[in-house]
């Protein structure tokens, strides 16, 4: 634990930048992603069981989501879950049609479902995250969004958060710059570089185990775990310096 924590933000005094994950930290979209993964995988698993004669249990939107896909790039999450069921598919290519029996095709179908759900229902930010972001802005700290999602811009727009960050490193940027996804620290390190801030002067805010692990692997100054689903112990084990249920909990006047 750092010797000096500023009470208004609950982070080390020497912090100069705040690097926020999006889904589950700033916006209430983790549940949208979990539902989209379930819709995609359940359809695939039914088809796979019929093709192979080996019925598969449905995708669990809590246990499977948290363990295999949360926070990871789409292809990595798809592959990780399929491996847990002993299923191997070819990688395919990024332009595979949604639903094609490749890693890319299934991932593209999941993304199609997410986009549809966001367009239908919109996205809401967490009220506590808004309060915290306002305090970060008032403190004059640098701000970034670091997300595996390729839909970050539309989610920020829907949530009313567009234009409030100095830089964004998302799935689109990661692909352009060939950055490894979480749990590798590459995307967070890229955000820190874009802000001109060393990793040890930046704070990572994450709700996913893979994201917390990325923050620890990158040797960031402080890693805040946000526990929305009752996995506080796992977040600590993955490397969180502190775990809160809401970002506003970090503030002295909460």
Q: Which residues contact 200 (CB under 8 A, 6 or more apart)?
A: 219, 220, 221
Annotated catalytic residue within 8, 23, 121, 253? 23
CA 183 to chain CA centroid, Å, is: 10
Tell whether omega for the bond before 170 is within 30 degrees of 0, i.e. cis.
no
- Would residue 21 show up in a list of annotated catalytic residues for this protein? yes
Choose the catalytic residue: 8, 21, 233, 246.
21
In whole angstroms, what is the distance from residue 174 CA to residue 180 CA?
7
What residues contact 193, with CB distance under 8 A and at least 6 apart? none
Residue 64's contacts (CB-CB under 8 Å, 6 or more residues apart) are 37, 41, 81, 84
Catalytic sites, residue numbers: 21, 23
């Amino acid at each position: 634990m750092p010797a000096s924590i500023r009470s208004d933000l609950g982070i080390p005094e020497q912090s100069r930048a705040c690097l926020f994950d999006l889904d589950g930290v700033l916006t209430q979209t983790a549940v949208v992603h979990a539902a989209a993964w379930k819709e995609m995988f359940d359809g695939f698993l039914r088809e796979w069981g019929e093709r192979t004669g080996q019925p598969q249990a449905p995708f669990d939107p809590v246990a499977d989501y948290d363990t295999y896909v949360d926070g990871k790039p789409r292809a990595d999450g798809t592959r990780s879950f399929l491996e847990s069921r002993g299923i191997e598919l070819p990688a395919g290519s990024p332009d595979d049609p949604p639903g094609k029996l490749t890693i890319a095709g299934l991932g593209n179908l999941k993304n199609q479902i997410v986009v549809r759900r966001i367009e239908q229902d919109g996205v809401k930010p967490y009220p506590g995250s808004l309060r915290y972001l306002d305090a970060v802005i008032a403190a004059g700290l640098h701000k970034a969004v670091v997300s595996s999602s390729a839909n970050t811009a539309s989610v920020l727009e829907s949530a009313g958060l567009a234009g409030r960050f100095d830089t964004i490193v998302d799935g689109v940027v990661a692909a352009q710059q060939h950055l490894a996804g979480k749990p590798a620290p590459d995307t967070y390190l890229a955000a820190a570089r874009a802000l001109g801030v060393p990793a040890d002067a930046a704070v990572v805010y994450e709700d996913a185990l893979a994201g917390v692990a990325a923050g620890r692997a990158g040797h960031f100054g402080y890693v805040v775990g946000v526990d929305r689903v009752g996995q506080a112990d796992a977040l600590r084990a993955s490397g969180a310096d502190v775990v809160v249920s809401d970002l506003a909990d970090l503030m002295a006047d909460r």
